[in-house]
């Protein structure tokens, strides 16, 4: 097993201890974020030549699953760390991403997200040698307590969304503590206000820029696959927790013909169906991660067809992981029973987390893409969600 | 429309205002309980001759659904009020239930539950003219702030569970404030300790006693049908809230071919499926309520066959209401989207409430009963859950 | 029980005897059609004043279900008998439908269908005192061996589809024996060729004509509800046949913990789920039939809102009956096992019949209508399918 | 692509031409069986050293899927060819299987099945140097037109089922032409009568014999995985045929908002869901085939744990392939419409074939095994079905 997986498992065990309590509290998991910094995993996919651990996407996303099985908020911001790091590679110049990666590896920098392309309130205007960003941005996961930010803005007359990588400490960046949601409560997915923030020209990721080439259009694939691995990890963690609970049951339901809850025919059938759904999702996730890795390695030579194949593998993973994770987190109660609803057990957090995160974009439209590919041979049109 | 339904709708509107906030807080909804007392609905099914409103089960359970659409904790204890009131009729002598009903109607007394037959820790011993109950009881919904309690205990040498109706204020009755669950957070379904509580012989419901005749065995039918109406009411309230939210959406998902979220083909399909599931559950609920009412009116002449038919109609309702309510409360997010997960909207409470309450007893065994009836013509064996 | 139901049950028992054999053979069930003629059921919904049995829609559709449980081809043409008879009422003048009904009752006339509005190949042209219809029409269920036909044609310059009631024996009407389908094999739903068929002006149903008023727009409601009752009847017949088969099983599956197949936990669970689905469909069907009956009785005073409510009740029935019947006919094999696939048992015909008939128009669009009604308060736009 | 896959695709194309017609006819597909003999594929998994093609299980089962996409009867007997060939390896001595394989490769011998362990009517008695088998055996797929048979019998006083490999031409072997089922109509899965058939002692597969070691207990894994690949292949063939049909549709449903059937939102959604289900099944099938291959290569050193892991991978495949194939073959009509039910299209054969074959043993018990493994770490107890 790769060292990273061992480290991830240790961290997962550690994070699990007070995951229920932290879910209730919400806010920034500062201690846990610092443990991630110390673990070295923030530089997991950065090449060893630049000071990283040199992992590929299959390993990186496996770590995401492991963390998600214990704490999906932390898994989310951890997964997005790599999405942000990858963004510099996909949208920026070699000089830009080499510098970003080297600094990240050296300082174990944590990246946050302030890119949300659907919220276009941040406006840019040109000034000498740079731009000024002003306005608010919502759903900025992991922005609090971050060292670097990927930010976006609209500038009049420019068709493409402007995307930049800047230090979080930059003057004018105001990160609100306003995330209070039913799930993913420690992701700090609240808002960031840009109060006349100066962005240097060489902080803008313009070449090739967002979604401009098949290769740069891998970003949404990475985003979607990261989230799908979080769903899947939650499902895996939830079913494992349920099994532990069932095994500790003193007796089966009074009408059962079985001698124990663990031998009840309906309980076994549920576990069979739920574990099967997770197995299928995991195989799809692994296939997609391998396809992504091959595309990532191909670099700018990536064709639209090959990028489309990755997007479809990711869409399939997302659809199955959504279904399996919702199914597990809803039905786990059918195999644990009424007492498993006590707040202290915290079993509802699995569902709240999955349900929140699976709404990032509608799974119906992923299924539509899969159908369009099957029926019409159509490739998904690259967008920030496809 | 019956007056009771008008009153119930008004109360529901009132309770809805701070339902999200009260869900977060948990504890006893004292103000709302007093509003129920003032409304007269606590004596809804007591005959007018005894000071009640004289409603039958269809109307009473309709009121449960209306309240549940706004606040399922209150609907639960309100529904159980009538279960407790009915218990005196089903298990006790005419003198006992006449007195209980008259006092309830006169004082708008609120009844609580401390019967849980699966928790057999409360022991009874005989003393002159009565018994002493000692021990703890769990899952005592609505015991706090109640005026009367239905309690149960085991006495050595007696095969049947002892059940009594006593004033909540009786010395030695200690109601713990220890209910902290993921759902149904204002039902006070915590524990009650009996510290050498004296129960008078004529407070014991011994004749005919629990489950001793087909008629007395209607109690679990009432309990199950009450809960099923709560699930259904939550589903109805949740879907209505979702529709209001969808209608307020500024635009459809970016990949939609529709001009508005309200015209999106997948959104409409979801609403179609979800509303259909609720319609089916409501028809089953109404059929079961009518069957129950006919059996209730029949009284002690009720045959085992007729009681079995009621139990099966109730089981069908419970199974369909469980499915429909879980489906609505999980999928409503697919038609409202990511922003509907903010804590302030409180949409997760619908699922938490339904998921908690649908675990009262496993729906798999209700489906088994339905199958046994269909395939083998078997009637459900009366128990506290069938 | 109404006499008609007794008669229907007797016929169903009779038709069941060689239903498997006749399904294999296909073609026209001449003997069975004559038995229907003799039974008097062809005039079931014609008022007694005109020589009929005076039944309402709930009873008529109940008969459809009973026949469908034994033979869905016969149930289909029997149901369409009443649709055609109703068409004269909905689209024609009082003189037209009075004559049609009187003649039908007197002669136990069987009506066939040659209306298919989606196949517009039949053209009409005016001649002195009438029209000439020429061209082919597909999906003409029950046209063979019929006495009367409802036919349709397009005439240039007329917006509305021309619909007429004519004797099947009219010169130029050529009914092809070309129906060879995977299901509903004895419905003769093949093609009819109109070789310059003369249609008298007073055979045209022009006043009010098709879909011209809310009342005349009840026709698709009747068509859809009739088909839904056929699905439901097949589901009921199929599950009853499966249960008989399971009860005759010598032993359970080798890995079962139960003593007999009839006690196997999974077998019972399947029967529970399947019978529940049928129960829900039946309640929806009864509710829709009552709504239809009320609208039918209202006559031309029917409002668009009231007609819309009927259409929605029908749509809900169709969606649930489709689901339940497909579910039963697919899963019945899970409760009967491998030996139940022998051709002689003929169990696949249930699925083939339901699957064929449920495709009359796509259920997805019924669910969409239900969603549009729930979310937007929209009434289905009357068409030949809504 | 391996040569065998190319050959298989050519054969599939050829077999597809009259698959509908042959399904109707039933009986023995003699011409197609001879084409298989000529193709060399009957010796696909026999090592090259013994004259075979030397393929592993992943390739062999891939060929099964390809054939099943065109004709599942042929795929079934082709898959069972390799199961029978493998049986000599798993249950017999090296001398036995070496001889069997060499002869098979040299003569392109076709093996048939007469083993059905649930039908214990064939009795064995000892005679000098051999045994006499007498009695009937049901479900003998591929016995007609075979060259060799795997047969089984019970001998009093012997605990284990006796299994032997004999020439089909052996005196007393009477193969009935009595297979007439709703599906898999050209598999000749009828009965074989043994009229005092002499079996030589060295034709008995006694060492190690059936299910006696973890390695010999691989046989049910191979049987189940072969069938699962047939289901999956049918699903793949059915969905491809449906897509071809949809693409040829002149227009969408009248109520659709789309310009063509291929752009209808519900049509695309169905294709998305159905193709996703098949993808998941295929990944599970490939994983199981690889696990099987590793176990096969391990030989007698295989541990019970490793064998259990194969059995679980197979069970997961079977469960998912069952679900996906039933789903595709039922719902393909929702994306093709009413006209696709004409007998000539033959689309119902997909469902009839899958439904027949998925009943080989109940999938509920596979799900139970998966649940028992997940919850309790239990390995499936080897039997002829686990």
Cβ neighbours of D348 in C, within 8 Å: 182-183, 352, 355
For residue range B348-365, list pLDDT tens digits in order.
999 999 999 999 999 999
Shortest Cα–Cα distance, A239 to chain D (Å): 9
Cα distances (Å, whole numbers) of residue A27 to A65, A305, D270: 22, 42, 41
pLDDT confidence of residue B385: 95
For residue range D319-341, list pLDDT tens digits in order.
999 999 999 999 999 999 999 99
What residue of B is the nearest CA neighbor of C265?
Answer: B368
CB of D258 within 8 Å of a chain B CB? The answer is yes
| Among candidates B182, B266, B338 on the partner chain, residue whose Cβ is nearest the Cβ of A359 | B338
Average pLDDT over chain B, rounded to whole? 97
Residue C346's Cβ-count burial label (10 Å; 0-12, 13-18, 19+) is middle
| Among candidates D262, D276, D370 on the partner chain, residue whose Cβ is nearest the Cβ of A370 | D276
pLDDT confidence of residue D2: 77
Q: Does C1 score more than 90 pLDDT? A: no
CB of D257 within 8 Å of a chain A CB? The answer is no
Which helix H or strand E contains A376, and what residues bound it? Answer: helix A363-376
Within 10 angstroms of residue B166's Cβ, the number of other Cβ atoms is 19
pLDDT band at B1 (very low <50, low <70, confident <90, very high): low
What is the spatial distance between Cα A161 and Cα A206, in angstroms, rounded to a whole number? 10
Contact C60, C225 (CB under 8 A): no
Neighbours of chain C (3+ CB pairs under 8 A): A, B, D
| Among candidates C273, C371, C376 on the partner chain, residue whose Cβ is nearest the Cβ of B269 | C371
The token pair at D33 is 């069986």
Contact C275, C239 (CB under 8 A): yes
Shortest Cα–Cα distance, D316 to chain A (Å): 6
Tell me what the mean pLDDT of segment B222-251 comes to: 97
Tell which of A265, A266, A269, A368 to mutate to test the C interface (max C CBs under 10 Å). Answer: A265
Average pLDDT over chain D, rounded to whole? 97
Residue C193 sits at φ, ψ, to 5 deg, of: -105, 135
A243/D367 Cβ within 8 A? no
Residues 183-242 of D with CB under 8 A from C: 183
The token pair at B347 is 């949409």
Q: Does A152 score more than 80 pLDDT? A: yes
CB of A368 within 8 Å of a chain D CB? The answer is yes
Average pLDDT over chain A, rounded to whole? 97
The token pair at D208 is 């190690």
For residue range C122-138, list pLDDT tens digits in order.
999 999 999 999 999 99
Q: How far is CA A289 from the centre of its chain?
A: 14
Cα distances (Å, whole numbers) of residue D266 to B179, C290, C386, D269: 46, 31, 18, 5
For residue C33, give the nearest of C81, C88, C103 by alpha carbon: C81
CA dihedral B284, B289, B294, B297 (to 10 degrees): 170
Contact A290, A306 (CB under 8 A): no
The token pair at A205 is 């990721």
Shortest Cα–Cα distance, C265 to chain A (Å): 7
Cβ neighbours of C367 in B, within 8 Å: 268-269, 272-273, 276
Cβ neighbours of D269 in B, within 8 Å: 266
Tell me what the mean pLDDT of segment B49-61 comes to: 98
C271/B371 Cβ within 8 A? yes
CB of B352 within 8 Å of a chain A CB? The answer is yes
B258/D258 Cβ within 8 A? no
| Among candidates D246, D366, D374 on the partner chain, residue whose Cβ is nearest the Cβ of A275 | D374
What is the spatial distance between Cα D248 and Cα D259, in angstroms, rounded to a whole number? 14
A181/B342 Cβ within 8 A? yes
CB contacts < 8 Å between A and C, how many?
Answer: 10
- With b for 16 or more beta-carbon neighbours within 10 A and e for fewer, the C46-55 pattern comes to beeebbbbeb
Tell me what the mean pLDDT of segment D339-348 comes to: 96
Proportion of chain B in helix, strand, coil states, percent, rounded to 5: 60, 10, 30
Q: Does A240 score more than 90 pLDDT? A: yes
What residue of D is the nearest CA neighbor of C139?
Answer: D339
Shortest Cα–Cα distance, C130 to chain B (Å): 45
Its ipTM equals 0.97
For residue A152, give the nearest of A191, A96, A204 by alpha carbon: A204
A253/B342 Cβ within 8 A? no
Contact C7, C38 (CB under 8 A): no
pLDDT band at B286 (very low <50, low <70, confident <90, very high): very high
What is the spatial distance between Cα D190 and Cα D116, in angstroms, rounded to a whole number? 11
C275/B280 Cβ within 8 A? no
Residue appearing with tokens 């149930």? C75
| Among candidates C254, C338, C365 on the partner chain, residue whose Cβ is nearest the Cβ of D360 | C338
Which helix H or strand E contains B126, and what residues bound it? Answer: strand B123-127
Within 10 angstroms of residue B346's Cβ, the number of other Cβ atoms is 17
| Among candidates B239, B247, B376 on the partner chain, residue whose Cβ is nearest the Cβ of C262 | B376
B180/A342 Cβ within 8 A? yes
Whether a cis peptide bond, with omega within 30° of 0, leads into D208 is: yes
Residues 44-83 of C with CB under 8 A from B: none
A279/D374 Cβ within 8 A? no
The token pair at D281 is 């099944």
pLDDT band at B2 (very low <50, low <70, confident <90, very high): confident
Tell which of D355, D358, D370 to mutate to test the C interface (max C CBs under 10 Å). Answer: D355
pLDDT confidence of residue C150: 98
For residue D275, give the nearest of A372, A380, A308, C323 by alpha carbon: A372
What is the spatial distance between Cα B268 and Cα B246, in angstroms, rounded to a whole number? 11
Neighbours of chain B (3+ CB pairs under 8 A): A, C, D
Q: How many helices (H) and strands (E) does chain B have?
A: 11, 7
Tell me what the mean pLDDT of segment B294-312 comes to: 98
CB of B266 within 8 Å of a chain D CB? The answer is yes
Contact C100, C163 (CB under 8 A): no
What is the spatial distance between Cα A45 and Cα A4, in angstroms, rounded to a whole number? 11
pTM above 0.95, yes or no: yes
Given CA atoms B14, B19, B20, B26 in this order, what sign does their dihedral have? positive
pLDDT band at D32 (very low <50, low <70, confident <90, very high): very high
Tell me what the mean pLDDT of segment A176-185 comes to: 96
B361/A385 Cβ within 8 A? no
Q: Which of B91-95, B98-102, B155-159, C196-200 has the lowest mean pLDDT?
A: B155-159
Residues 81-120 of D with CB under 8 A from C: 118
The token pair at B49 is 């001759």
For residue range C317-330, list pLDDT tens digits in order.
999 999 999 999 99
| Among candidates D253, D341, D365 on the partner chain, residue whose Cβ is nearest the Cβ of C253 | D365
pLDDT confidence of residue D1: 65
Tell which of D285, D372, D374, D386 to mutate to test the A interface (max A CBs under 10 Å). Answer: D374
Cα distances (Å, whole numbers) of residue A350 to A260, A322, A341, B24, C369: 26, 13, 12, 18, 34
- With b for 16 or more beta-carbon neighbours within 10 A and e for fewer, the A169-193 pattern comes to ebeebebeeebebbbbbbbbbbbbb
pLDDT confidence of residue A1: 64
A272/D376 Cβ within 8 A? no
pLDDT confidence of residue A2: 78
What is the spatial distance between Cα C37 and Cα C34, in angstroms, rounded to a whole number? 5
Q: Does D166 score more than 70 pLDDT? A: yes
Contact A34, A270 (CB under 8 A): no
């Amino acid at each position: 097993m790769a060292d990273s997986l061992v480290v991830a498992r240790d961290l997962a065990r550690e994070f699990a201890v007070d995951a229920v309590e932290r879910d209730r509290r919400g806010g920034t998991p500062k201690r846990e974020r610092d443990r991630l910094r110390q673990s070295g995993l923030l530089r997991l996919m950065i090449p060893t030549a630049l000071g990283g651990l040199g992992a590929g996407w299959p390993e990186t996303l496996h770590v995401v699953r492991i963390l998600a099985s214990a704490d999906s908020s932390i898994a989310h911001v951890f997964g997005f760390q790599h999405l942000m790091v990858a963004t510099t590679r996909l949208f920026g110049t070699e000089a830009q991403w080499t510098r970003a990666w080297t600094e990240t590896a050296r300082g174990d920098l944590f990246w946050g997200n302030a890119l949300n392309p659907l919220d276009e309130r941040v406006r840019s205007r040109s000034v000498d040698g740079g731009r000024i960003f002003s306005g608010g941005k919502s759903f900025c996961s992991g922005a609090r307590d971050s060292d670097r930010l990927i930010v976006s803005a609209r500038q009049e007359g420019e068709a493409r969304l402007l995307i930049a990588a800047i230090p979080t400490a930059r003057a004018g960046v105001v990160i609100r503590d306003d995330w209070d949601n039913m799930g993913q409560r420690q992701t700090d997915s609240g808002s960031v206000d840009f109060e006349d923030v100066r962005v240097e020209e060489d902080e803008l990721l313009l070449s090739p820029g967002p979604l401009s080439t098949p290769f740069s259009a891998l970003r949404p694939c990475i985003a979607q696959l990261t989230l799908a691995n979080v769903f899947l990890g939650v499902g895996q963690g939830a079913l494992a927790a349920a099994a532990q609970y069932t095994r500790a049951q003193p007796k089966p339901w009074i009408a059962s013909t079985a001698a124990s809850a663990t031998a009840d025919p309906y309980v076994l059938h549920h576990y069979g169906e739920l574990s099967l759904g997770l197995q299928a999702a995991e195989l799809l996730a692994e296939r997609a991660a391998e396809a992504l890795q091959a595309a990532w390695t191909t670099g700018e030579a990536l064709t639209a067809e090959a990028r489309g194949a990755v997007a479809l593998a990711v869409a399939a993973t997302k659809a199955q992981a959504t279904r399996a994770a919702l199914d597990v987190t809803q039905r786990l109660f059918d195999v644990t029973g009424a007492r498993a609803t006590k707040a202290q057990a915290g079993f509802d957090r699995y569902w709240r987390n999955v349900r929140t995160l699976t709404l990032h974009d509608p799974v119906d439209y992923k299924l539509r893409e899969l159908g369009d590919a099957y029926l019409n041979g159509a490739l998904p049109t690259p967008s920030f969600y496809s």
